[in-house]
Amino acid sequence: MSSRTVVALLAAILVLAGCGGPDPQALLDGASEALEAAGTSRFEMSVEAAGDPAGRFAAEGSQDLETGALRMAIDLGDASAATETLLLGDEVFVRSPLFALFTGDESIWVRVDLTATAEEEGLDAEALLGGQTGPAALLSQLDGASGDLEELGSEEVRGVDTTHLRVTIDTAAAIEQADPQIREQLRTYAEATGLPDAYPMELWIDDDGLVRRIRTLLDLPDAQSGDTEAGGVTQQTTLELFDFGVRVDLDPPLPEQTVELADLIAELEELERLDAEIRDAEGGSADDG
């Protein structure tokens, strides 16, 4: 897993891992404030992609809805790749059996300094991390809603009565009308993921104004051609929030339980260098023989 992969994953997490009586417009208008007032919640998220490449992953965890800080477990469908993530501002701690292959200890967390990593990868650290994250960032996309708000009826989500709504999001309008603090964050995410010009968003909001479920359906372009029809991927993301007000364990690992990503990469590069020297030496010996 490269540092660029970690940054790309966490950029998506920043926007997707957060979220958002009975009058539909009033529910939308008060969604962000309602979530902040709730303080915390647990969540489950699934992402399903059809096309090339196809795939599915799921995540679950808990989040501080005001700061965006979260603890999450990501399931890629392979126990050997199960990943735990702790996001605390510009610090990210990641623990995975994949890292244990290099650290020799599955309990060790790899610490990522997002600001330093973003600068090394040529990304805008302020755009990636600045302003609000999580629910506020996702709900800010509603500023780009076009056309009439559509009410699809009532539905229970995890035993709670909700109003089911659908809007179409205009990506450019959502970015331009967003709070200045998160505008560049949204722009960076849109460019990095190839968000379409417009896409549907469905929300399930309870009578207290709390978002209980969000679903988006995106037609993303082919990574090489940039064409959504000649390749590309249709991606459906579903996020559910529940257990509002739950205690969230956001204590960082102790220093002795962590290794810096930069140090781990340096060790890997040194191992690759030594391996190359050994191969060259063995090749020279074979030629001499």
CA distance 51 to 48: 10
Do strands 91-95 and 109-113 pair parallel, antiparallel, or not at all (unpaired)? antiparallel
Domain range for residue 279? 3-20+23-288
pLDDT in tens, 81-123: 678 889 888 888 988 887 777 777 788 898 888 777 666 666 5
- Do 90 and 113 touch, CB atoms closer than 8 A? yes
Burial class (CB in 10 A: 0-12, 13-18, 19+), 189: buried
As a whole number of angstroms, the distance between CA 142 and CA 129 comes to 20
Per-residue pLDDT tens digits for 216-246: 888 876 544 444 454 567 888 898 999 999 9
**Residue 117 belongs to a domain with what CATH number?**
2.50.20.20
Residue scoring higher pLDDT (280 or 212): 212
Give the pLDDT confidence score for residue 123 in this predicted structure: 54
> pLDDT tens across 246-285, in order?
998 999 999 889 888 877 777 777 777 777 777 777 766 5
**Those residues with Cβ within 8 angstroms of residue 58's Cβ, 6 or more apart along the chain or in another chain:** 44, 45, 46, 47, 74, 75
Look over the chain and give the mean of its residue pLDDT values, rounded to a whole number: 75
Number of domains in the chain: 1
Q: pTM score, two decimals?
A: 0.73
Q: CB of 163 within 8 A of CB of 151?
A: yes
